[in-house]
Amino acid sequence: MTTQFTLDLSSLSEQTRIGMPAALTDRTEAFVRSRFPADSGYKCQRMTTKPFKERPHLLGYHINVRRGFLWGFDLRIMPDDFQTRQSTVKLVPQSRMNETAVGVAFLLGMLAGAGAAVVTYQHSQSDTGRNVVIAFFFGSFAVGGVIFGVLWLIAKAITKAFTDPDKDEREREALWKDILPLLRL
């Protein structure tokens, strides 16, 4: 379950508003690194994103924390608009198993699409490539979607078998309660 908090920054000056997501991320990252130390097996990574292509100086931040293949979360601190009048902070549970399932499904879907395009091209009587393109996209999406569904179900079953979802949810709730005071201005 995703937890979300929106900060109203409209009362601050424009320069302060633009730098606020970075300042919040610095405070939050220091707290997260102290709570989930690397010597206990946690891996913490900070990433910067550009949520608005038109404004490359406005940055959003992700703090990824992982432990093993089944446990992890992503803390996102993003400006909501061009003027950074608000910033949204989200705590999203994530595991590498789900990310791996998406990657494998995408790769196998593309391979199936390419195979369908080759077979269609070899058996096509028409001069246009329309059937080849349709075969590629249909093969990619149909096979990729089915594979993703199967892998997602397998990932859910493995996660449920080897972790305690209720305990993980309680940990995230406790973490969120500890992070909220850091977000107050």
- pLDDT mean over 10-27: 85
Q: Give the tokens for residue 89.
A: 């902070």
**What are 135-175's pLDDT values in tens digits?**
898 888 888 889 888 988 888 888 778 878 788 888 888 88
Domains parsed from the chain with CATH numbers: 3-94 (3.30.310), 98-160 (no CATH)
* pTM of the predicted protein model: 0.72
**What are 69-118's pLDDT values in tens digits?**
888 888 999 888 777 788 888 888 887 787 788 888 889 999 998 998 88
Q: How many CA atoms lie within 13 A of 117 on its CB side?
A: 17
Angle between helix axes 165-183 and 14-35 (nearest 10 degrees) is 140
